[in-house]
Chains A and B, each alone.
Chain A
Amino acid sequence: MSYDLREARGKAAIVGAIDAVSSTGVLEGSTRALEVAMIRGALEDAGLTIGDVDGIFACTGGMMMHSMELAEYLGITQPCWTDTTQTGGSSFEVLVEHAAAAITLGHCEVAVIVYAMNPRGARKSGGGGGMGGMGAAMAMMGGESPQMEWEMPYGLRMPMGGYAMSADRHMSQYGTTSEQLAQIAVSTREWATMNPNARYQDPLTIQEVLDSPLQCGPLHKLDCCLVTDGAGALVMTSAERARDLKKPAAYVLGTGTSHTHSMPSAMPDLTVTAGAVSGPKAFRMAGVTPNDVDVLEMYDSFTITVLLALEDLGFVKKGEGGPFVAEGVLGPKGSRPAQTNGGGLSYTHPGMYGMFLLVEAVRQLRGECGPRQIENAEIAVAHGCGGVLSSTSTVVLGTESTL
Chain B
Amino acid sequence: MEPKASSASQPFWEATKEQKFLLPWCKDCEKPFWYPRVMCPHCLGESIEWKEASGQGSVYASAVHWKPGMPPAGDLKPPFVVSLIDLEEGVRMLSNVIGCEATDVHEGMSVKITWEKLSDGRFLPQFEPAS
Contacts and interface: CB of A to CB of B under 8 A. Distances in A.
Interface of A: 143-144, 146, 148-158, 160-162, 164-166, 168-169, 172-173, 213-219, 264-266, 270
A259 to B, nearest CB: 15
Contacts of B60: 169, 270
Contacts of A173: 107
A97 B29 CA distance: 37
Given A165-B61, A168-B62, A158 B1 contact: no
B63 A265 contact: no
A168 B61 contact: yes
B63 A154 contact: no
B111 to A, nearest CB: 14
A144 B9 CA distance: 11
A154 B61 contact: no
Measured as residues with beta carbon below 8 angstroms from the partner, the interface class of chain B is 35 or more
B63 A168 contact: yes
A168 B106 CA distance: 9
B62 to A, nearest CB: 5
A161 B60 CA distance: 14
A139 to B, nearest CB: 14
Given A146-B6, A157-B63, 16 more contacts: A148-B4, A149-B3, A150-B93, A153-B3, A154-B94, A155-B68, A156-B82, A157-B69, A157-B82, A158-B69, A165-B63, A214-B66, A216-B65, A266-B35, A270-B61, A270-B84
A241 to B, nearest CB: 45
B66 A213 contact: yes
14 contacts: A144-B6, A148-B3, A149-B4, A153-B3, A153-B124, A154-B82, A155-B82, A157-B65, A164-B64, A168-B62, A172-B107, A215-B67, A216-B63, A219-B63
Contacts of A215: 66-67
A260 to B, nearest CB: 13
Interface string B78-101: 011011100000001111100000
Most buried by B among A146, A154, A155, A270: A154
Given A149-B35, A154-B73, A265-B93, A213 B6 contact: no
B121 interface: no
Contacts of B62: 165, 168
B67 A151 contact: no
Name the prevailing secondary structure of the A interface residues. Answer: helix
Of A143, A168, A173, A215, most buried by chain B (CB within 10 Å of CB) is A168
Contacts of A218: 64
Given A161-B82, A169-B60, A172-B106, A213 B73 contact: no
Interface string B88-131: 00001111100000010011100000000000000010100000
Given A144-B6, A265-B94, A155 B71 contact: yes
B2 A153 contact: yes
B101 to A, nearest CB: 12
B95 A216 contact: no
B84 A157 contact: no
Contacts of A164: 63-64
B3 A150 contact: yes
Best-surrounded residue of B3, B61, B64, B83 (most CB of chain A within 10 A): B61
B74, B94, B103, B124: most-surrounded residue (chain A CB, <10 A): B94
Nearest to A144: B6
The residue in A143, A157, A264 that gathers the most chain B C-beta atoms within 10 A of its C-beta is A157
Contacts of A216: 63-67
A213 B61 contact: no
B20 to A, nearest CB: 18
Given A156-B82, A169-B60, A172-B107, A265 B68 contact: no
Contacts of B92: 265
B45 interface: no
A156 B94 contact: yes
A153 B63 contact: no
A156 B35 contact: no
B7 A144 contact: yes
Complex A-B, nearest 5 residue pairs according to Cβ-Cβ distance, in ascending order: A155-B72, A164-B63, A217-B64, A169-B61, A157-B69
A334 B97 CA distance: 41
A152 B70 CA distance: 8
A141 to B, nearest CB: 13
B73 A149 contact: no
B76 interface: yes
Contacts of B68: 155, 157
Interface in B47-68: 60-68
